[in-house]
Amino acid sequence: MSTFEERRQRRIDRLHNAAQRTQSSAESHMATADRMSSVIPFGQPIQAGHYSEGTDRRYRERIHRHMEKGFEELSDAKDYERRAQAAENNTAIFSDDPNAAEKLEDKIARLERRQAMMIAANKLVRKDDRAGLAELGFPDTVISKLFIPDFCGRIGYPDYAIKNNGANIRRLKERLVTVQAHAEDTTKENTIGDVRIVDNVEENRLQVFFPGKPSDAVRSELKSHGFRWSPYNGCWQRNRSNDAAYWANQIVTKYYSEGES
């Protein structure tokens, strides 16, 4: 498994684990609320004016807090699980995938075949050549649908479908050029004062490692330029780019070039 796939799987595992932990915590809060509620007779109101009124009220408030926390964490657990499922089902091609160029080429080829197929089909539809469509491999059900007019009376594949597919081909070809141009990039590091700035190719991140917790001003500037704290990597980071490298160097130089921390 490549570093990219390992990193992707770690993220999926973290989300699944977070979902399980949060679900367990939610169930614990709900069980506590149920257990506490079980000692109160059904329908019994707070004993107003009774010497134990304050204790009774606080006890019921604790039950309510456990219930609220339980419902809140049940919602969070579902969100973690949804994100884990989305990450598992995500078929997007990421630039830090070592197989990105190959995957882009495959996707471009598929879209180009689709483009050629739609154009050829439309020519046959205009000729009312159903036999020709069958020879291209279209099943009868699809052929029938191609001859059903849309809301504008058009038949065949609509122009917007062909134009959108062509736009996607051009966009992916541009991405392929960019990915290929950076295929030989290697991880580089430079130091300013006590701060390390790492252009991490494998992680596809521009990372800033501080010797300790940076000041509020530093953290504010990092956040304003897209950097976020990564507890897993122990650094501030964002996706690799010339802009990321520029601002990392600007901020670190401003605050740390003379040893300021």
Q: CA-based angle 75:33:25, to the nearest 5? A: 45
Query: Which comes out higher in pLDDT, residue 178 or 144?
Result: 144
Q: Are residues 118 and 58 in the same domain?
A: no
Q: Tell me whether residue 234 is in a domain.
A: yes
Nearest to 247 by CA among 217, 227, 219, 230: 227
Q: Where are the alpha helices (DSSP H) in 2-91?
A: 3-37, 53-89
Residue 49: pLDDT over 60: no
Across 101-123, average pLDDT: 94
CA 119 vs CA 31, 112, 130, 158: distances in Å: 62, 11, 15, 10
The residue behind tokens 């149920």 is 34
Q: Are residues 12 and 36 in the same domain?
A: yes
Q: Are residues 76 and 109 in the same domain?
A: no
Structure tokens at 231: 């507890």
Residue 181, pLDDT score: 80
Residue 3, pLDDT score: 74
Q: Are residues 69 and 110 in the same domain?
A: no
For 169, the domain range is 100-181
Q: Tell me whether residue 155 is in a domain.
A: yes
Q: Are residues 49 and 69 in the same domain?
A: yes
Q: Are residues 146 and 122 in the same domain?
A: yes
Q: Tell me whether residue 53 is in a domain.
A: yes
Residue 43, pLDDT score: 56
Residue 183: pLDDT over 90: no
Segment 122-166, tens digit of pLDDT: 999 999 999 999 999 999 999 999 999 988 888 999 999 999 999
Q: Kindly report the pTM of this predicted structure.
A: 0.56
Q: Are residues 42 and 110 in the same domain?
A: no
Q: Tell me whether residue 95 is in a domain.
A: no
Residue 47, pLDDT score: 55
Q: Count of domains in the chain? A: 3
Of 128, 148, 181, which one is at a domain's C-terminal end? 181
Percent of the chain with pLDDT over 90: 61
Mean pLDDT for all residues in the chain: 87
Q: Tell me whether residue 33 is in a domain.
A: yes
Residue 1: pLDDT over 50: no
Nearest to 10 by CA among 240, 239, 234, 233: 233
Residue 14 in contact with residue 88, Cβ under 8 Å?
Answer: no
Of 148, 181, 214, which one is at a domain's C-terminal end? 181
Of 181, 199, 216, which one is at a domain's C-terminal end? 181
CA 7 vs CA 89, 198, 205, 233, 260: distances in Å: 15, 18, 12, 12, 34
Q: Tell me whether residue 94 is in a domain.
A: no
Q: Are residues 200 and 234 in the same domain?
A: yes
- Of 21-30, 54-63, 165-174, 225-234, the range with the lowest mean pLDDT is 54-63
Residue 51, pLDDT score: 46
Residue 20: pLDDT over 60: yes
Query: Which comes out higher in pLDDT, residue 151 or 171?
Result: 171
